[in-house]
Amino acid sequence: MPNVPLHIIQRGNNRQACFFHDDDYMIYLDWLLEYSQKTGCTIHAYVLMTNHVHLLLTPNEKDSAGSLMKRLGQRYVQYINRTYRRSGTLWEGRFRSCIAQEDNYLLHCQRYIELNPVRAEMVDHPADYRWSSYRANAQGEPSNVIKPHFMYQSLGQTEEARQANYRELFRHDLEPEIVDEIRKATKGNFVLGSSRFKEEISKTLGRRVIPGKAGRPAKE
């Protein structure tokens, strides 16, 4: 939906690596900036893991996010195949996503993204991981990619105050229930938010935006 935040995850095929060298991360971020501007997507947070990518963005048009991921993904695959003399697909099909309600849900999602390296036990603190937006959002590190959402802007009257209050949010881990809710919503292409928000989005999109009734469990 235009002007509604979206959490996106794209995995490497069979969960295989999609970044092999520091240059790969830097090139991906360069192209993320280029194509986010060309397709009308505002990037609020990201993390580039070894075998998958998380983005939190707001699309300006209904096709903005899909266009961004298609153009960025195709160009990056071509680069990887050429650089490492490989062939075939790199990504695990189409990206997964969930619409994220503004208010606290957006900041929950942003923390979920930037805490990913900590949950993966790659680092002890998100500031220790180079390939995420945490340093930009929490420490003011310059970034051409990141454009803060107004919920982030509401954390303080000055940049210093916003960064300090944002860092305060990371003093504690996200509650397991919130982590699970974000994972389920993103995996199922559902909506992350209140019941009322989900009903509004369902009416607007004309489709179900929450999991159906429990039945036979799907095979993983």
- For residue 43, the tally of other CB atoms under 10 A from its CB is 23
Confidence of residue 2 (pLDDT cuts 50, 70, 90): confident
- Cα→Cα distances 78→64, 73, 89, 94, Å: 21, 9, 10, 17
**Angle (CA) 137 140 144, round 5°:** 80
Distance CA(9)–CA(212), nearest Å, equals 22
Q: pLDDT by residue (tens digit) across 149-198?
A: 999 999 999 999 999 999 999 998 899 999 999 999 998 888 888 888 77
Predicted pLDDT at 213 = 52
Domain boundaries, the chain: 6-204
Q: pLDDT by residue (tens digit) across 195-204?
A: 887 788 787 7
First-to-last alpha carbon distance for the chain, in angstroms, is 29
Predicted pLDDT at 208 = 65
Distance, C-alpha 80 to centroid of its chain: 21
86 pLDDT above the threshold of 60: yes
Predicted pLDDT at 215 = 44
Predicted pLDDT at 209 = 67
- Cα→Cα distances 178→47, 87, 95, 193, 206, Å: 18, 38, 21, 11, 26
Q: Please identify, in words, the CATH class of the domain defined by 6-204.
A: alpha beta
